[in-house]
Amino acid sequence: EAEVAQSPRYKITEKSQAVAFWCDPISGHATLYWYRQILGQGPELLVQFQDESVVDDSQLPKDRFSAERLKGVDSTLKIQPAELGDSAMYLCASSLGGAGETQYFGPGTRLLVL
């Protein structure tokens, strides 16, 4: 069964350092989402891509976060500089697109900022 891949699974960094997360969606899925899940909360959207284009980045803190999906396949989310409040689970999801599509999630990257 096809799955969304994410790496690394865990990342510990010090504040002010740069971190990057990678996501490889299910093959053929045009839409890719990055969500952030703070402990005890539900996931919240950071950025949504349709192919290589950003569809929604209204909740992305653009002063420190950036995301790209250059070839419309895999994607990278970067934080620079990391802050203590960025400690969370970062989840990637993908979907085919179109009416009624469902989103499939990867295992997530758990980030701890010290």
Binding to other proteins by CB under 8 A, coded x per residue (else -) over 45-84, reads: x--x-x----xx----------------------------
Beta bridge partners of 86: none
Return the SS3 of 84: helix
Return the SS3 of 67: strand
Q: Which residues, 4 to 23, sit near other proteins by CB under 8 A?
A: 4, 6
- Report the Cα–Cα distance between both ends of the chain, in Å, rounded: 37
Beta bridge partners of 94: 32, 104
Distance in Å, CB of 102 to other proteins, minimum:
6
Choose, by CB under 8 A, the member of 19, 29, 31, 65 that binds other proteins.
Answer: 31
What tokens were used for 71?
């070839």
**Residue 106 makes contact with other proteins by CB under 8 A:** yes
Q: Which is nearer to other proteins, 56 or 83 (CB)?
A: 56
Amino acid residing at 38: I
Distance in Å, CB of 56 to other proteins, minimum:
6
